[in-house]
Structure 1
Amino acid sequence: MTQTTKTRTTMMHTTTAKQHTVIDSPYGPLTLVATDGVLSGLYMTDQRHRPPEESFGDRDETPFAETIDQLEAYFSGDLKEFTLELRLDGTPFQRRVWEQLRLIPYGETRSYGELADALGNSGASRAVGLANGKNPIGIIVPCHRVVGANGSLTGYGGGLDRKKRLLDFESGAALF
């Protein structure tokens, strides 16, 4: 007698709960988005690659208390490093780039080439730039700290004026 094991495959549909809120900042309104209670987006007005508003979920400040506290401390100059749990949804390469961004110290910059070198692929500076531009959590994942090879300010999803102001703020050249 042979025993047959039957395997049942169940299709699991995972749903994600999203909430958002909008806060004021020295750089204009910031839209914070949480997926399943974890910060998954920080978007500026008129930001390139900003998802449509209807994808942000219900307006609810509940999951954002710690994020708001840390952003307020950052904008007041009292916080140099964010310690928030983040949900960075992207390709494996994008997530590796975004993790490298988090390693750039407050008040410092890196070039796209330096980030590509840190990833072990010196020829990937364009790909690094594209991933940098799609960073879903601006300011906290500091894509504004990436500059051109000669130190020039190059593209920024939030606009070059905001990038310059953020860099000036972090260097101590401008306080709010």
Structure 2
Amino acid sequence: MDAEPDIEMVDSVGELDRVVVTLRDFLHRSPAARAIAVVSRGPGKEAAVVDCGRFEAIEVELGDRTVRLAHDAPLAVEPPPLPDVKPIPPFEVDPESGEVAGTIGGLEHLADAVGALADALGPESVAMAVFATTDPSNPLSVSCRAGGTEPTVVAIGDRPFELPPPPGGPPPGDQAA
């Protein structure tokens, strides 16, 4: 088995610093264990993937290069406004059926928050946040595309499910409505 290649530690990721501080801010104001973004870097460049785990170095994939920066790295940008995310106890999940049981409205609340995060990251961005469940082997992740242009996807462990829209309303994560 190959060892992980050396990954360069950096103090900044330039224009992606705003993404880093936004994910970090979301992580610190929510019950998420991890927040991940896929963001466009412009024409002719591969999208960047920024992975921010709680109390972990932040990893940034820049196509053919991966770098890390300290979780508490001081960056010279402010995060955009984000909604408050209520603390929610871990959900009970069934990865076979896709059932999620917990606080009434809790899953929709998290979907709306992740949708707002995707919107804050900019057009064409995708945000994903990972939350603990009562079954540590099956975390719950919520993924949204900026603008709510696609259904919100909830995964239990590695099993994805589309979150159905609420009756008579926009899909969770759709901030346009």
Quick check: which one's strand share is greater? Answer: 2
Normalised TM-score (structure 2): 0.27
Q: Which one has a bigger Cα radius of gyration?
A: 1
Quick check: which one's helix share is greater? Answer: 1
Normalised TM-score (structure 1): 0.27
